[in-house]
Chains A and B, each alone.
Chain A
Amino acid sequence: MPKKECLAMLLAGGQGSRLGCLTRNIAKPALSFGGKYRIIDFSLSNCANSNIDTVGVLTQYKPFSLNSYIGIGTAWDLDSAFGGVHILPPYVREEGGSWYKGTANAIYQNMEFISIYNPDYVFILSGDHIYKMNYSAILKFHQEKKAEATIAVIQVPWEEASRFGILQVDETGRILEFAEKPGLPRSNLASMGIYVFDWPVLRQALIEDEANPGSDNDFGKDVIPMLLRQGKRLFAYRFQGYWKDVGTIESYYQANMELLEDNPPFNIFDADFRIYSNEDAFPPHYVGPKAKVKKSLVSNGCTLLGKVVNSVLAPGVFVGAGAMVEDSILLSNAKIHKASWVRRAIVGENAEIMENCAVGINTGGDPRQAGITVIEDNSVLPAGSLVEEGEKAPRTFCVTG
């Protein structure tokens, strides 16, 4: 196999447990976003747009839909004869085998795979972030600084800093200190979970980390602090632009809704940096004679006969006559039948809301307590159901049909 300059390892095994029933049947990277996309599209498209043609995708949690969605990477032009996409699940060896214990352990278990390509640099990427980034810029930075490892960082609001891995850097960008989710953050530079390593450095670090029984085998928690203790040259690459880890139902909802703003902070309309996705063959969407569609994103294959306002619609969605969808996210092939109302809700893939239902309706509770209602994938809500978003209801809750 010819040697590669760069190889990307894409961590896509996470459950995203804080997304509740949205990820009950699929891994978080396979979750729909922005209408026609799935979250992993962004990282894979970044690779494609950065000329990284060899990508290992590490899967573990409920990988079926993710595996079939990625296939051999054709949709992202990553089906290459020399390289391409490799799906890497945990596997059994002569002396047993184990699940991926942490992010570092997942890469450790696949060191043989990386060795096949013997790259100069290894990118460690996360499959569940929403961002557009040309990885050649961070690679150039890495080379110029003669770094052994580079971490992409982004400035976050101070009040949120304690949710992230926070870095202290000197004026050259060299990392002095790394604190995972610090109680009292000393900076607001957060790690984006994107790393570039010199392959020999990464290899050595993974072996040492694995040998340490006290380690959780996590990049942020264990490997990076260990390399800093060893005095390695670690640099922080400052990323300017939109980056989001949609870890919770609220942030997922918010990030989708932001796309509907007049000047959305995240531009999916950029023809020069396309986000590729593996789409089904659908015709253009149809808007009926009595429909009303405003401030929304609508994907192919939708049939809209009712009212849709301020919502994001994935491919194949149906909104029946007299139905009303407001401030909501409808995932692939969701069906809202005649005269049903859906407000501030996320309706899962293939879910069906039969006639005359009301979902996410607030009948007098405090509007500031308004929660997001989630209808689980494949569930059917019987005709006439009322799913109220009451005062005492949890901020988000799932409805299974």
Chain B
Amino acid sequence: MNRAIGLIFCNYLSDSLQGIARDRPVGAVPFGGRYRLLDFVLSSMVNSGLRTVGLVTPHHYRPIVDHLGAGKEWFLDRKAGGLFLLPGSNHVLAGKNIKFSLKDLQVNVEFLEKDYAEHVILSGCNQVFNINFQKALEFQNNKEADATLLYKVVTPDAPASPGGLWLEACGEGRAKKIFQEGFEDFNPAPKRPKKPGKRFLDMLIIRRKLLMEIIAGCVDETADLVEAIGENLKSLKVYAYPHPGYWARIDSVYSYFRHNLELLDPKIRNELFMGRDRIHTKIKDNPPARYGSGAMVKNCLIASGCYIEGRVEKSIIFREVQIDKGAQIKNAVVMQRCTIGKDVVLENVILDKFVQIKDHTVLKGTRNYPVVLNKRSVV
């Protein structure tokens, strides 16, 4: 076993997710019927044998702590190691695109100092995947690398990822260049590779001692770890390592909507959820979902504790949602404890938690611009 500890940057903020991430950090955004985005990275780390995971928290971390507790569901409530909450620095000046703020690491350097692990796995928390890091760790060991950056080969027709990072690597995997995709606020043609490229997955393995050196040498308040690595590609042994499996980044309402509905594809669902390594989440002990005699459900994921009397098609229904008689729901993501009244028609919508849709309401968005209703809205 390669000894490694995990470090998750859970302080991503986003204003491109509209209301979905208004009152919660991106890591706490509900996904896939019963999960939060954070579950994917946390479960992947735990399933890879990591037993010490630090979590850099944003200033409004209540939903994160509410979800994680002592980390019991991820087997992290332990004597040796466990879950560590690391308060992030309040970097008001920091640019939006800082992923791995060295300042955040600096104020929490004790977490790194007091461990003995050889490597640290760092990751963001706005992504959906199920990766076992053991192979990447082996790769890092075999290459005697200073750092290993995970990437996925992406075809040019994949949706843009403004501000996302790309890698260039030579034959045996040594990273040559890290560069950023342009922002496209007003420019529909972002700067990005014209042929299949290596998209950096915001996940990397780095030697713990090296990480501490970089942190100690950092004077800039807004410095980013990947930037620091990118500037030293010549002096450091940095490798790129491919992830062949499923991976999705949630960085807009559209991607949130699309990747949720993508779970209806059995191939993706089985890869994420039904393999040896499971995605763990907070357990609510709900009863099974109950179908009434009027229920008509097609191509949906339905979580526990739901009560369904209406018609639902191509949708993701979270826990304890009630759907009344005559309701017709299509292409929807309906979060926990929403209630949908009689004869309601919903199409291309995202309902945040506790939304109430009263009888006979009709709400329709489009496939690219779904209607988003904020938490506790009543319509």
Whole-angstrom CA separation of A284 from B274 in the bound complex: 11
Question: Which of B100-108, B214-222, B294-302, B368-376 participates in binding chain A?
Answer: B294-302
B24 sits at the interface (CB 8 A): no
Contact B300 A286 (CB under 8 A): yes
Q: Which residue of A lies closest to B278 (CB)?
A: A281
Residues A284 and B32 in contact in the complex (CB < 8 Å), given A34-B288, A297-B287: yes
Question: Is B234 located at the chain interface by the 8 A CB criterion?
Answer: no
Q: Give, as a whole number of angstroms, the nearest-CB distance from A275 to chain B.
A: 7
| Closest-CB distance, A262 to chain B (whole angstroms) | 8
Residue picked from B32, B289, B317, most chain A C-beta under 10 Å: B289
Closest A residue to B318 by CB, please name it.
Answer: A284
- Complex Cα–Cα for A120 and B238 (A): 66
Partner of A295, one of B33, B263, B291, B297: B291
Asked if B303 contacts A36 (CB within 8 A), the reply is no
Q: Are the C-beta atoms of A287 and B288 separated by less than 8 Å?
A: no
Nearest CB on A from B321, distance (A) = 11
> What residue in chain A is nearest B316 (Cβ atoms)?
A284
What residues on A are CB-neighbors of B298 within 8 Å? Answer: 287-291
Nearest CB of chain B from residue A30's CB, rounded to whole Å: 18
CA gap between A34 and B288 in the complex, in Å: 8
- Say whether B78 faces chain A, with CB atoms less than 8 Å apart: no
Known A35-B287, A276-B285, A283-B273: A288·B299 in contact at CB below 8 Å: yes
What's the A-B contact tally at a CB cutoff of 8 Å?
Answer: 106
Centre residue among A276, A281, A283, A299 by max chain B CB count within 10 A = A283
Query: Are the C-beta atoms of A291 and B297 separated by less than 8 Å?
Result: yes
Taking CB atoms, residues of chain B closer than 8 Å to A275 are: 285, 287
Which residues of B have CB within 8 Å of A74?
A: 72
The binding surface of chain B is classed by DSSP as loop
Could you tell me the distance between the alpha carbons of A313 and B287 in the complex, rounded to whole angstroms? 12
Residues of A within 8 A of B34 (CB): 283-284, 300
CB distance from B262 to the nearest CB of A (A): 13
Q: Are A287 and B297 in contact (CB under 8 A)?
A: yes
- Residues from chain B with a CB closer than 8 A to the CB of A279 are 283, 285
Residues of chain A in range 256-315 having any CB-CB distance to chain B below 8 Å:
262, 268-269, 274-277, 279-301, 303, 312-313
Give Cα A130–Cα B191 distance, bound, in whole angstroms.
Answer: 64
User: Are B285 and A281 in touch, CB under 8 angstroms?
Assistant: no
Closest-by-CB residue of A relative to B289 is A298
Contact B291 A269 (CB under 8 A): no
What CA separation (Å) do A286 and B318 show in the bound complex? 12
A305 nearest in chain B by CB position: B266
* CB <8 Å contact, B269 and A36: no
A257 → chain B closest CB, angstroms: 13
**B273: chain A residues within 8 A (beta carbon):** 282-283
Give A301 to B301 CA distance when docked, in angstroms. Answer: 10
Listed residue (B273, B304, B307) with the most chain A CB atoms within 10 angstroms of its CB: B304
Chain B nearest CB: distance from A35 CB in Å? 4
Give bound CA distance, A289 to B274, whole Å.
20
**A300 vs B303: C-alpha distance when bound (angstroms):** 7
CB pair A295–B292 under 8 Å, yes or no, is yes
Contact present for A269 and B305 (CB under 8 Å) = yes
Chain A residues with CB under 8 A of B303: 284, 300
Interface residues of B in 253-275 (CB under 8 A from A): 263-264, 266, 269, 272-274
Among A268, A282, A303, contact of B287 (Cβ-Cβ < 8 Å): A268
How close is A206's CB to chain B, nearest CB, in angstroms? 35
Report B-chain residues with C-beta under 8 Å of the C-beta of A269: 287, 290, 305, 307
Q: Which residue of B lies closest to A36 (CB)?
A: B288
B148 at interface (Cβ–Cβ under 8 A)?
no
Q: Which of B266, B295, B299, B302 contacts A284 (CB 8 A)?
A: B302
Q: How far is the CA of A94 from the CA of B349 in the complex (A)?
A: 70
In whole angstroms, what is the CA distance A343 to B316 when docked?
30
Which residue on chain B has the smallest CB distance to residue A315?
Answer: B288
Other-chain residue from A277, A282, A284, A294 in contact with B291 (beta carbon distance below 8 A): A294
- A136 vs chain B, min Cβ distance (A): 21
**B293 close to chain A: CB less than 8 A:** yes
Query: Nearest residue in B to A308 (C-beta to C-beta)?
Result: B291
Contact: A297 with B264, CB < 8 Å? no
* Interface membership of B279, Cβ < 8 A: yes
- Distance of A296 Cα from B295 Cα, bound (Å): 10
**What's the Cα separation between A282 and B272 when bound, in Å?**
11
B281 within 8 A of A: yes
> What distance in Å separates the Cβ of B71 from its nearest Cβ neighbour in chain A?
13
B280 an interface residue at 8 Å Cβ cutoff? yes
Whether A285 lies near B287 (C-beta < 8 A) is no
Q: Is B33 in contact with A284, judged by CB distance below 8 angstroms? A: yes
The answer to whether A274 and B297 touch across the interface, beta carbons within 8 angstroms, is no
Q: Once the chains bind, are A298 and B269 in contact (CB under 8 Å)?
A: no
| 4 A-B pairs with least C-beta separation | A284-B33, A35-B288, A281-B278, A283-B273
12 A–B contacts from the bound complex (CB under 8 Å): A34-B287, A269-B307, A276-B285, A281-B279, A286-B300, A286-B301, A286-B302, A289-B299, A298-B288, A298-B302, A300-B304, A303-B266
Give the B-binding residues of A (Cβ under 8 A).
Answer: 34-36, 74-75, 262, 268-269, 274-277, 279-301, 303, 312-313
Q: Other CB < 8 Å A-B pairs besides A269-B305, A282-B278, 20 of them?
A: A34-B287, A36-B287, A75-B283, A268-B287, A276-B285, A279-B283, A281-B281, A282-B273, A283-B263, A283-B269, A284-B301, A284-B302, A286-B269, A288-B298, A291-B297, A292-B296, A293-B297, A295-B291, A299-B304, A300-B304
